[in-house]
């Protein structure tokens, strides 16, 4: 039975994260995986299990999540995105479908993932952002971009990120490699933190972003980063920022030349 891969985008505000959740004695939670599998079942008239490359948390968004499933179908591959989109809610969209290499696994085969955390900040802001309030974290405190740029660079390389993960991360190893981590000022009141690596722990990006923004506010010293990495002490790192500012930007695979890093501006 052939395997099909799709790239999907979603605005995660009204979802309980990626992973399907069906607690006993209560209706299933609304999740991206759950909604996608309902659409697949309606399209192909059978139950189909999916595997997603990243288990994004509740409220986190994605420009290019990658999902794989197996199905025997006569529907032409280029028509599958449109067929699924007519069955999906408005806060989800399938962007592309392709035939991956044999035995493709979207989790195991991912070489690099990229996330962006976006912050609206400044003393002059009297109200929260209106039009993109669901996809940007609002802070009324001014942040200095220069120490944030330096702080972001401290995360690059292979480190033990125990201090930058939720205690319930559930992984045997907390060692990860960060390929790039940069802070940019888009405007006088808008900052983005872009980070890519070979994998991320539970809440890791949101804690790294919380550490960098606290340094930008002057509430943490740059030395906290190295001390936290060396000791694994969560108390030395910054707070876990809210999910709305975070989005999965792209995932890179060696096997798929079509899977070059790509951003989607449709959200």
> Could you give all domains of the chain from N- to C-terminal order, each with its CATH number?
3-105 (3.30.70.580), 110-248 (3.30.70.660)
CB 198 within 8 A of CB 130: no
Query: Which pLDDT score, from 0 to 100, does residue 256 have?
Result: 56
Q: Calculate the CA dihedral of residues 236, 241, 247, 249 and round it to 10 degrees.
A: -20
Q: What is the pLDDT of residues 206-252, one digit of tens each?
A: 999 999 999 999 999 999 999 999 999 999 999 999 999 999 999 99
How many CB atoms within 10 Å of residue 98? 15
CA–CA dist 216, 142 (Å, integer): 8
Q: What is the pLDDT of residues 71-116, one digit of tens each?
A: 999 999 999 999 999 999 999 999 999 999 989 999 999 999 999 9
Comparing CA positions, the residue from 208, 186, 211 lying closest to residue 197 is 208
In this structure, what token pair is assigned to residue 141? 């405190």
The reply to whether the predicted model has a pTM over 0.75 is yes
Query: Which pLDDT score, from 0 to 100, does residue 267 have?
Result: 37
Catalytic residue among 57, 63, 91, 109: 57
- Residue 109 annotated in active site: no
CB 161 within 8 A of CB 229: yes
């Amino acid at each position: 039975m052939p395997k099909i891969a799709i790239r999907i985008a979603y605005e995660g505000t009204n979802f309980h994260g990626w992973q399907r959740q069906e607690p006993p004695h209560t209706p299933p939670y609304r999740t991206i995986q759950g909604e996608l599998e309902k659409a697949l079942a309606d399209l192909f008239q059978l139950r189909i299990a999916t595997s997603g490359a990243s288990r994004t948390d509740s409220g986190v968004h994605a420009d290019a999540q990658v999902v794989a499933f197996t199905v025997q179908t006569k529907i032409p591959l280029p028509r599958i995105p449109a067929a699924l989109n007519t069955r999906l809610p408005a806060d989800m969209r399938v962007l592309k479908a392709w035939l991956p290499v044999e035995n493709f696994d979207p989790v195991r085969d991912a070489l690099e993932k990229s996330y962006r955390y976006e912050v609206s900040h400044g003393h002059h802001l009297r109200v929260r952002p209106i039009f993109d309030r669901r996809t940007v974290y609002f802070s009324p405190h001014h942040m200095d971009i220069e120490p944030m740029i330096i702080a972001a660079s401290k995360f690059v390389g292979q480190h033990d990120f125990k201090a930058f993960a939720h205690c319930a991360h559930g992984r045997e190893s907390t060692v990860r490699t960060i390929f790039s981590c940069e802070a940019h000022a888009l405007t006088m009141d808008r900052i983005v933190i872009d980070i890519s690596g070979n994998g991320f722990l539970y809440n890791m990006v949101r804690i790294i972003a919380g550490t960098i923004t606290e340094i930008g506010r002057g509430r943490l010293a740059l030395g906290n980063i190295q001390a936290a990495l060396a000791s694994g002490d969560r108390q030395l790192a910054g707070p876990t920022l809210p999910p709305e500012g975070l989005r999965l930007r792209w995932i890179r695979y060696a096997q798929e030349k079509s899977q070059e890093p790509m951003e989607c501006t449709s959200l």
